[in-house]
Amino acid sequence: MISNNWTVVEFSRAVTAAGRRLVRKELLDGARRSDPLIVDFAGCATLDCQQIELLLEAMSHATGRNAEVLLVAHSRSIQILLDVTRISSLIPVLHSMEEMVRHFESVANGRSAPLYPAT
């Protein structure tokens, strides 16, 4: 059995100022919990500088608390942006939610080690 007690934050809502405030709150709240925090980039075609700033702030907050954070990129564009900003060297990036679920199943069954922290 695997636990599905993780928090998923849909990053695509961080388009407007209000959306960014909401996502920021969810990210910071999620980082305080003991459950894994999943940042889902589904629906994001790209990231602008404000979104990257928000992401970096949240990641800094989360890593300071040793929270388990995973990013789900979904697209090659987002993966590249996470690589260029070096965020992917700090936080593990998965390609899809299915891969994320498989990862947690694998960890729960003892077949693989947790990805966090990134190596």
Tell me if 35 contacts other proteins by CB under 8 A. no
Q: Between 86 and 111, whose beta carbon lies closer to other proteins?
A: 86
* DSSP secondary structure, 58-73, as one string: HHHHHHHTT--EEEE-
Nearest distance from C-beta of residue 47 to other proteins, angstroms: 6
Interface positions, 44-103, toward other proteins (CB under 8 A): 45-49, 51-52, 75-77, 80-81, 83-86, 89
Nearest distance from C-beta of residue 56 to other proteins, angstroms: 10
- Token pair of 76 as six digits: 């090659």
CA 29 to chain centre: 13
Q: Between 17 and 45, whose beta carbon lies closer to other proteins?
A: 45
Q: At what angle do helices 17-32 and 49-64 cross, to 10 degrees?
A: 10
